[in-house]
């Protein structure tokens, strides 16, 4: 969940995002998440309660686990824009970055609706290394971006290192499955 709260207590959450991990690092996020409306409501309510209880202002990302009996359990929290919410940059009416500024400045919070199914695939420093050597090469950006409705976001880091988050690729699609496939395919073309 990515929620925003203003100093005067107004709250708005983005729709529930779903994450998959690889080697304990966020790999892919997508929205809408494959959860029931009841689970979604529970996650939003929990995020709002946490932010109110902490008197948090700005953005709060709350990572949760979903149990087999549809309960949500908090895993960790990040009081800032978070990698999990990067898909909002292209997939939502308001990005998490703009929403954070709106909240901190006590401005009206932006709409958080998902424009269409969207996904984010992390781009780690590993994509700069074709093999086990320490010789890095520039990824094939043009090949990745040749897939329709994909967007590359690099973080301006000057040195690529394995497992280091260097950027991400967002993708839109007619379905969540299509958006995930586009993001993952675009990332796979970096080599």
Provide the 10 A C-beta neighbour count for residue 75: 9
The pLDDT value given to residue 180: 98
- Whether the CB-CB separation of 56 and 7 falls below 8 Å is answered with no
Architecture of domain 1-16+32-82+93-110: 2-Layer Sandwich (3.30)
CATH superfamily of the domain spanning 116-191: ATP-grasp fold, B domain (3.30.470.20)
Q: Is 31 left (phi over 0), alpha (psi -120 to 50) or beta?
A: beta
Predicted pLDDT of residue 191? 87
Asked if domains 1-16+32-82+93-110 and 116-191 share a fold, the reply is: yes
Spatial CB neighbours of 149, under 8 Å, sequence gap ≥ 6? 171, 172, 173, 182
Q: Model's pTM, two decimal places? A: 0.93
How many Å apart are CA 155 and CA 138, to the nearest integer?
Answer: 15
CB 119 within 8 A of CB 169: no
- Provide the residue-wise pLDDT of the chain in tens; the chain has 191 residues: 999 999 999 999 999 999 999 999 999 999 999 999 999 999 999 999 999 999 999 999 999 999 999 999 999 999 999 999 999 999 999 999 999 999 999 999 999 999 999 999 999 999 998 777 777 889 999 999 999 999 999 999 999 999 999 999 999 999 999 999 999 999 999 98
User: ω before 131 within 30° of 0 (cis)?
Assistant: no
């Amino acid at each position: 969940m990515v929620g925003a709260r203003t100093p005067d207590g107004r709250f708005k959450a983005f729709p529930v995002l779903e994450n998959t991990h690889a080697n304990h690092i966020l790999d892919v996020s997508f929205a809408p998440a494959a959860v029931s409306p009841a689970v979604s409501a529970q996650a939003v309510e929990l995020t709002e309660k946490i932010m109110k209880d902490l008197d948090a202002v700005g953005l709060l990302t709350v990572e949760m686990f979903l149990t087999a009996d549809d309960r949500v359990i908090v895993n960790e929290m990040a009081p800032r824009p978070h990698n999990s919410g990067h898909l909002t940059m292209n997939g939502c009416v308001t990005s998490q970055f703009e929403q954070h500024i709106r909240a901190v400045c006590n401005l009206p919070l932006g709409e958080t609706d998902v424009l269409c199914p969207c996904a984010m695939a992390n781009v780690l420093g590993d994509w700069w290394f074709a093999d086990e050597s320490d010789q890095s090469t520039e990824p094939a950006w043009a090949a990745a971006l040749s897939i329709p409705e994909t967007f590359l976001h690099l973080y301006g880091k000057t040195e690529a290192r394995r497992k280091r988050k260097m950027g991400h690729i967002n993708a839109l699609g007619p379905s969540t499955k299509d958006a995930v496939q586009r993001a993952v395919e675009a990332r796979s073309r970096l080599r």
